[in-house]
Chains A and B, each alone.
Chain A
Amino acid sequence: VISQGMTLTELAKSGKFVVTAELSPTKGVDLSRLFEHLETLKGKVDLINVTDQQGGKMRVGSLAVSHLLRERSFEPIFQLTCRDRNRLALQSDLLSASLLGIRHILCLTGDHPMRGDHPDAKPVYDLDSVSLLMSATNLQNGYDLSGRSLESKPVFCLGAAVAPGMVPMEPQLIKAEAKVRAGAQFFQTQAVFDTKVFDKFMGDIKKLGVPVLAGVLLLTSARMVQYIKKNIPGVIVPDSIVSEMEKATNEVQAGIDIATRIIREVRGLCQGVHIMTVGREDLLPAIIEKVKI
């Protein structure tokens, strides 16, 4: 749980190993199951990301759910993608977030709609993650993207994503640097499975001086591993983990073991973890308990 007034970046700089979780809003308007999951997270995580129509699949909006999290005394990270909004909508949603007291924004380009459940949708991408970060920074400085003055300024703690397993890596690193120049104050990474690759990545990204939270994705079945391999861009699952899941008699337990092992291995390398439990938030307390964060 984040102390009053502290941002993720300040928390990480104070030496706390930051733990964030992730909630995917529902496809529908009944959030009771989502909030049940929330109860299990109370006191266990510092902040909770709210995904923005993840994978290009139509859902309840991340801004509304972020607001409801705040009402329940959680600190949300509002994920904002450029896939569905032009620069007016993006800036307006940033101001709306500030109005609702939401400070943490994860600025993303967003998965292409072709991969989602509305493949015929018109992709927007008027801005991208870098220019979105720049726009949010401009708003904090009191002006919009066209240079016009705001009547009052919002305050944000801006985050960005980075894929530590991309080949080649250098373009990702240069882009990460551009994101920091544009105002990113923390990174949450795409799911990490190969901690040796992540170690090298951390060596390269350290110089940017912003906290990095390693993405940890909880695997719950061998089928899920195949799905990720096929459908989630930028995530590399090593064969050893694939076979570990395939051989497991209790797949959920094997997944928990893999997640806790990864958390232990990255603990000394970065400033926190972003644990993605994909609908199994009920398992998160057990993972946190095991690694004693």
Chain B
Amino acid sequence: MLVSQLKPNDELLEYTKDDREVFLVSCFGCAEAFGSGGTRGLTKVTKILEDAGKRVTGTCMMDFCCEKTLVELWLRRKNASIKEADSIMVLACGIGTQVVASLTQSKVRPACNTISLGGRVGQPWGPEQCDECGDCVLKYTGEICPMTRCAKGLLNGPCGGSEKGNCEVFPERECAWVMIYERLKKMGRIQEFIPKPLVKRFQKAAPPKEIRDALLQVHQPEKEVLP
């Protein structure tokens, strides 16, 4: 179970400042449990965007945003309203966001910060990874996570050692920053490559146990006994 939290309103609006129309993908898996996805997250984010004068062209909720086959089925069904939108905002963990991004040519924005594994691990199949850093930067990194895929976790472009698109530290791995570059270039978004010096807010990473517990407490089942 991945513990995630919706990003603050101003961050969500900053991400969509150039978009008038947004399509929302919400995860009905872990993110539903923490109110950052599912119906609750969807209601909140829809209101935030609509209050800012944006139109939500459509929404879809899927059980596991980390499951590529499932995500692809849903995105195909919703193709028409996705096409109308300037971007897709994903209410899921970092893996869910990367899975959606890997399947579409649209701009994809993370709506959540992924805080921790909450004791259990999700079941992603693909190469998409999430470090539960609590400060998702996918918006600035071509929807590919350099925190997990770059050996040095660099946030501002490739180091000088990348060779023919592979990592200098783990030569069998692709260089995350070359992947980010190639993705943005292919999508005609090269101006988004290293847009500003990013500095990681490590305070948000691996929060102390009491904060994690508090997050989990909020979502404890109701006292009422289920039949």
Contact = CB atoms under 8 A, between A and B. Distances in A.
A174 B194 contact: yes
Interface string B154-169: 1111111111110011
Interface string B128-151: 000000000000000000000001
A175 B150 CA distance: 15
B165 to A, nearest CB: 7
Given A126-B202, A131-B197, A178-B197, A171 B177 contact: yes
Contact of A174 (B157, B162, B165, B168): B157
Contacts of A181: 197
Given A112-B151, A162-B160, A234-B160, A130 B181 contact: no
Contacts of A145: 199
B160 A166 contact: yes
B169 A161 contact: no
B49 to A, nearest CB: 30
A101 interface: no
A20 interface: no
B160 A190 contact: yes
Interface string B68-95: 0000000000000000000000000000
Range, interface on chain B: 20 to 34
A208 to B, nearest CB: 14
Contacts of A114: 151, 169
A233 B161 contact: yes
Contact of A233 (B153, B156, B160, B182): B160
B178 interface: yes
Contacts of B151: 112, 114
A115 B169 contact: yes
Contacts of B160: 109, 161-163, 166, 172, 190, 233-234
Nearest to B158: A171
Interface string A165-185: 011101110110010011000
B183 to A, nearest CB: 12
Interface string B176-202: 011001100100001001100111101
8 contacts: A109-B159, A128-B159, A129-B159, A166-B160, A168-B165, A168-B178, A172-B157, A172-B158
Contact of A171 (B168, B178, B197, B200): B178
Nearest to A182: B197
Given A111-B161, A234-B162, A178 B177 contact: no
B212 to A, nearest CB: 22
